[in-house]
Amino acid sequence: MDASGLPLLDRRIADCRACPRLVSWREEVARTKRAAFADWTYWGRPVPGFGPADARLLIVGLAPAAHGGNRTGRMFTGDRSGDVLYEALYDVGLASQPTAVHAHDGLELYGVRVTSPVHCAPPANKPTPEERDTCRPWLVQELRLLRPTLRAVVVLGAFGWQAALPAFAEAGWSVPRPRPAFSHGARFHLDGLELFGCFHVSQRNTFTGRLTPTMLRDVLRTAGRAAELPTRGGQEADASPGD
């Protein structure tokens, strides 16, 4: 398997109907819509990964948002979490622009790919363990295709961490037992791969100050450097409440 297979993998993911609850929910949301997006034709399908096939840094989230990726068809695009993530990637020099509005807005990621362990928007943003495990083979295949170039991974949140570690093991990396525990700022070495933990860019975390822009930029910048990607900036003062 090589990186040329990623476009095919993305197409196969977008056609998946393996989880009846998720299929029903994502399609119901696409039909009923949100009033603010009444004129949109929602994607309403599984959302594949986004970014170059030769990425050196992978960011692993949780699942698409019902009115974000499920609407736009691109990871972390069109919702508040994506606003925070892509602005931070732009700030450290890993994205071409700080905003992600729709799938054809010109956004490019530099050496970075964004994916998730669950590719369908789940009710209440909470996929079940069974849905997580059913979706895992897609992440395993993606990791295998990225392996020739992949040097670092940032996992957003404990759910993503718990889903990603078994996928790394199935994709051929040696994951220690007991498995490393999630924490913000955690860093572990897996067979030539640097694995980083970061609080999720959810509104709950960013609005309360649990995850500040500086905290996110610091993790992304450190991971980018571990992946040998050019980044910009350094430690910044952050006046966000809650620090």
Report yes or no: 55 and 48 within 8 Å, Cβ to Cβ: no
Task: Tell me whether the omega of the peptide bond preceding residue 178 falls within 30 degrees of 0, making it cis.
Answer: yes
Which pLDDT belongs to residue 241?
A: 31
Task: Give the pLDDT means over successive 10-residue stretches in the chain (243 positions).
Answer: 77 97 98 97 98 97 97 98 98 98 97 98 95 97 97 97 96 94 96 96 96 98 98 60 29
DSSP calls for the chain: --GGGHHHHHHHHHT----HHHHHHHHHHHHH--GGGTT-----SPPPPBS-TT-SEEEE-S---TTTHHHHSSTT-SSHHHHHHHHHHHHTTSBS-S---STTS---BSSEEEE-S--SPPGGG---HHHHHHHHHHHHHHHHHHTTT--EEEEEHHHHHHHHHHHHHHTT----SSPPPP-TT-EEEETTEEEEEE----HHHHHHTSS-HHHHHHHHHHHHHHTT------------TT-
The answer to whether 189 and 214 are in contact (CB under 8 A) is no
- Tell me, what's the pLDDT at 4? 59
pLDDT at 86: 98
CA pair distance 11, 45, nearest whole angstrom: 11
